[in-house]
Chain A
């Protein structure tokens, strides 16, 4: 799975795959930030 980094704040954005995000969080000890958005 490919992640992208927002250069303005260093947040690493993942595709909308909660299982992958939880696996990453479990292995790194990081929190998960979920951004629900509607395209404008």
Chain B
């Protein structure tokens, strides 16, 4: 739904979500709980993958790991060079591991994507706790 933040009729919903700046998009569960949020302008080429990431993150937080894995996979298949692709690669491996409980699906999943395709990203760092400090 669209919320015009300059309309006094929307004051309550703006205050409820501590909304301070536009553009500002939130993804909510049916009970109104906020599952994801992103602010600022996203170019048309980056907006769709970011929206898909929001859906994937929401599914993951709702513990629908099979659908979340597919959602992250869709981002990597359709938008492998997008800004959000490294995050999708990180979480796809996590969702895969949660579905199979096979350690290689986690560690190997990270290795096959983050180490090779997205080495200079925050998400490469996020799975590097057992390695020497990365050199940039």
- A interface residues with partner B (beta carbon < 8 Å): 9, 13-18, 21-22, 25-26, 29, 31-39
Contacts and interface: CB of A to CB of B under 8 A. Distances in A.
B25 A34 contact: yes
A13 B17 CA distance: 19
Contacts of B23: 35-37
B107 interface: no
Is chain A's interface secondary structure helix, strand, loop, or mixed overall? mixed
Interface residues on B, range: 20 to 34
B17 A34 contact: yes
A12 to B, nearest CB: 9
Interface of B: 1-7, 9-10, 13-14, 17, 19, 22-32, 35, 48, 51, 54-55, 58
B1 A16 contact: yes
B28 A31 contact: yes
Contacts of A29: 30
B55 to A, nearest CB: 7
